[in-house]
């Protein structure tokens, strides 16, 4: 056990039944890390249940079904009646802020048991009794792998599979800039432990519904190129969801498509929710603009290259406000010198 993981693992070691949860609209890292921790706890004879605050994307359901990991899906609100009596520890993975855990702040702020945060995001709050946060980690799954190793938990095939899915998801199958040598070393270790990579690849990248592809087509048709093609903006409105029968969760990763364009430094995706809530704005950067700092001026946050925010107002009003601010930001940001590195 390393010094830095000790306080965290000391608390976990004393637990009898842990509630494991993660951010709303869970991605592969969120779900994979939550399941890996639940399975790791089971290896240490500690019971746990996983609470999801949005519905489980069907492509990840095998993680729960094949291992009988107890799952609670809260959806828009916690299930009634939701009793915390059976839990003695809260473990939050892949986020460190209440805003990503809607409904939980009220439930847990006066809870007398320990709260733990395992995360790799920059934006953090100070309510956890112990945190294991490494912002240079590519995925929460990387940190979970470190913790489980420190705890003496072996990578069984199910644990290795959940961790690999987490890490592959957040790195875009080891393509994004967050991929480190340690990421590849861990991936090799997980492969050796028996991960079926072909199956996981098909699960992550060849598993879309027709509705999602139809919605993506519409998003791409909405694309504007601004600031001398340094900024790409796409929007998805209520009508797009209605006419394609796709869901808001189907917009995941659309934002990365314009990043394929050489000149594009920043990509913005605006999504108007079908339930009439706030407009969701996602931001991606190739590095010249710190989009986490940009998002903070609107109450959002995230990473320097991947951030988000939410605003009240119509899709077009939010579009105009955010796009004007980004055009302003880019006007004071030097255009990056084209790379001429030899491969």
Q: Which parts of this chain interact with Mn ion (CB under 5 A)?
A: 29, 94, 140, 170
- In angstroms, give the least distance from the CB of 112 to Mn ion: 29
Q: Which is nearer to Mn ion, 140 or 295 (CB)?
A: 140
Q: Which is nearer to Mn ion, 29 or 146 (CB)?
A: 29
What pairs with residue 133 in β-bridges? Answer: 119
Q: Which is nearer to Mn ion, 95 or 227 (CB)?
A: 95
Q: Which is nearer to Mn ion, 94 or 265 (CB)?
A: 94
- In angstroms, give the least distance from the CB of 37 to Mn ion: 13
CB 186 within 8 A of CB 167: yes
- In angstroms, give the least distance from the CB of 20 to Mn ion: 15
Per DSSP bridges, beta strands 231-236 and 266-271 are: parallel
Q: What is the DSSP letter of 107?
A: H
Three-state DSSP at 209 gives coil
Q: What is the DSSP letter of 339?
A: P
Distance, C-alpha 262 to centroid of its chain:
26
CB 159 within 8 A of CB 39: yes
Q: How many CA atoms lie within 13 A of 178 on its CB side?
A: 23
d(CA 269, CA 256): 9
By CB neighbour count within 10 A (0-12 exposed, 13-18 middle, 19+ buried), where does 137 fall? buried
- In angstroms, give the least distance from the CB of 168 to Mn ion: 12
- In angstroms, give the least distance from the CB of 194 to Mn ion: 24
CB 261 within 8 A of CB 228: no
Q: Which is nearer to Mn ion, 29 or 250 (CB)?
A: 29
Q: Which is nearer to Mn ion, 241 or 254 (CB)?
A: 254
Residue whose Cβ sits closest to Mn ion: 29
- In angstroms, give the least distance from the CB of 306 to Mn ion: 9
């Amino acid at each position: 056990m390393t010094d830095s993981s000790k306080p965290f693992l000391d608390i976990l070691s004393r637990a009898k039944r842990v509630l494991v949860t993660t951010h709303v609209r869970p991605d592969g890292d969120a779900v994979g890390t939550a399941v890996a921790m639940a399975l790791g706890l089971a290896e240490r004879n500690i019971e746990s249940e996983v609470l999801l605050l949005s519905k489980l994307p069907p492509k990840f359901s095998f993680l729960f079904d094949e291992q009988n990991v107890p799952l609670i899906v809260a959806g828009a609100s916690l299930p009634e009646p939701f009793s915390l009596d059976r839990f003695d520890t809260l473990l939050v993975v892949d986020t460190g802020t209440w805003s990503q855990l809607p409904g939980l702040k009220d439930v847990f702020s006066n809870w007398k048991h320990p709260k733990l945060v395992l995360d790799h995001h920059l934006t953090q709050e100070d309510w956890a009794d112990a945190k294991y946060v490494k912002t240079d980690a590519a995925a929460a799954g990387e940190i979970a792998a470190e913790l489980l190793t420190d705890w003496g938990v072996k990578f069984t095939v199910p644990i290795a599979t959940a961790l690999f899915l987490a890490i592959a998801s957040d790195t875009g199958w080891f393509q994004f800039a967050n991929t480190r040598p340690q990421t590849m070393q861990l991936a090799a270790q997980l492969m050796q432990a028996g991960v079926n990579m072909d199956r996981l690849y098909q699960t992550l990248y060849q598993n879309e519904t027709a509705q999602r592809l139809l919605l993506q087509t519409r998003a791409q048709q909405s694309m504007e190129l601004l600031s001398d093609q340094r900024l790409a903006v796409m929007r998805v409105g209520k009508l797009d969801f209605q006419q394609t029968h796709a869901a808001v969760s189907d917009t995941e990763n659309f934002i990365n498509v314009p990043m394929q364009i050489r000149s594009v430094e920043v990509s913005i995706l605006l999504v108007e929710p079908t339930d009439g809530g706030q407009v969701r704005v996602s931001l991606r950067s190739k590095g010249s603009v710190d989009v986490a700092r940009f998002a903070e001026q609107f109450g959002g946050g995230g990473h320097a290259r991947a951030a988000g925010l939410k605003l009240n107002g119509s899709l077009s009003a939010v579009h105009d406000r955010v796009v004007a601010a980004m055009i302003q930001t880019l006007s004071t940001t030097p255009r990056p010198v084209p790379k001429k590195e030899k491969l």
